[in-house]
Amino acid sequence: MRTSVIERKTKETDIALSLNLDGIGHSEIHSGCGFFDHMLTLFAKHGGFDLTLTCKGDVEVDYHHTVEDIGIALGKAFAEAIGDKKGICRYGNMILPMDEALILSAVDISGRGFYAGELSMRAKKVGDFDVELVDEFFIALAQNAAITLHIRQLAGKNTHHIIEGAFKSVARSLRAALSTDARFADSVPSTKGVLG
């Protein structure tokens, strides 16, 4: 089982999470932000990840520390659960439609944390969630999971649809990249013999 349990406590947030990469998409999320809970719930569902997460953060300030720190903790959980990377497919991509929005994502379980995102959102907030935090989450996730992550918006006007499409697309790309191939169970998918 590719699983991880992470606890991260700072003066700004107190996070506990468990992750199972080979789950069925079950989740129990309590971040303190309803919209972000929704995004993480569908992320788990579409990735096929079992994810339990609680965060007590300084949401009276705003959601920045909560979102970024969850990205850090979740990234570390992915890195730990992935392990030695033997047998994984390594690459995954998805072009995902969400009503009028169309989002492309691509993932490389490279061992090198990098994020490039191009999302153009008209609204500054969805509910009380600042949309600029989407990039903050994916930056933290990519850096701490040690993955290369690209997200591109190909179409879309509704900010909620664009963000939801991004979370679903990335989840599906990760699901593909983390799937295993029995033919290569004892090898790392790199001619260098190592990823990182």
Alpha-carbon gap, residue 87 to 94, rounded angstroms: 21
pLDDT at residue 5 in the model: 98
Adjacency order of strands within the sheet including 3-9: 3-9, 13-20, 50-57, 27-30
Entry pTM:
0.94
Total count of residues recorded for the chain: 196
pLDDT tens, residue by residue, 26-84: 999 999 999 999 999 999 999 999 999 999 999 999 999 999 999 999 999 999 999 88
Q: Which of 86, 69, 50, 62 is nearest to 10 (CA)?
A: 69
pLDDT digits (tens, 9 = 90+) for 124-173: 999 999 999 999 999 999 999 999 999 999 999 999 999 999 999 999 99
Q: Tens digits of per-residue pLDDT, 69-105?
A: 999 999 999 999 998 898 899 999 999 999 999 999 9
Q: What is the residue type of 80?
A: E
Determine contact, residues 74/85, Cβ cutoff 8 Å: no
Domains, the chain, with CATH or none = 3-184 (3.30.230.40)
More confident residue, 196 or 142: 142
The answer to whether 155 and 99 have CB atoms below 8 angstroms apart is no
